[in-house]
Amino acid sequence: MKKALFLDRDGVVNVEINYLYKVEDFKFIEGIFELCKKYQNQGYLLFVVTNQSGIARGYYTQEAFDILSSWMVEEFAKHGVEIQKVYFCPHHPEISGACSCRKPEAGMLLQAQKEFDVDLKNSILVGDKESDIEAALTAGIKESYLFDEHHIHNKSKATKIVSKLKEI
């Protein structure tokens, strides 16, 4: 079994912008490539796990999300970082009903476990909302980090957090 680093997208990989779906609006958090490279070099598989209710809400299409995700994965690759897969939940409970993939549910993490033989117990999750941490706990991930969602919009705060994680 392999250990993994799971990253929420908005607020962890990129600067939070509500319902982000355009490449031109995407701004990587400073230090994210170095952070991922560090864990990749330690043998971690890298995954992005993201709730994308903007699809259910009709703000953007799954095709637009797929285009942005492909671009993001390519940008990581340009920095020598391999993202194994981007898992996403396109649902919203009030629009499409309950599902097992929307965090705080653990569906995306369990899917990665099944598809990539991930050892969840020895994996790490980094998120910016309590629901990310709840999903990690439900999946059996013992190590998780919560970015302060009230300060994540401040780029310098996000950069300091990523820098701190790189030291761990």
Instruction: Provide the annotated active-site residues.
Output: 8, 10
Cα separation, 65 vs 71, in Å, equals 10
Closest CA to 97 of 89, 109, 106: 89
- DSSP strands (E only) in the chain: 4-7, 45-51, 83-89, 124-127, 143-146
Structure tokens at 138: 């439900």
> Smallest Cα–Cα separation from 12: which of 35, 39, 43?
35
| 16, two tokens | 């939070």
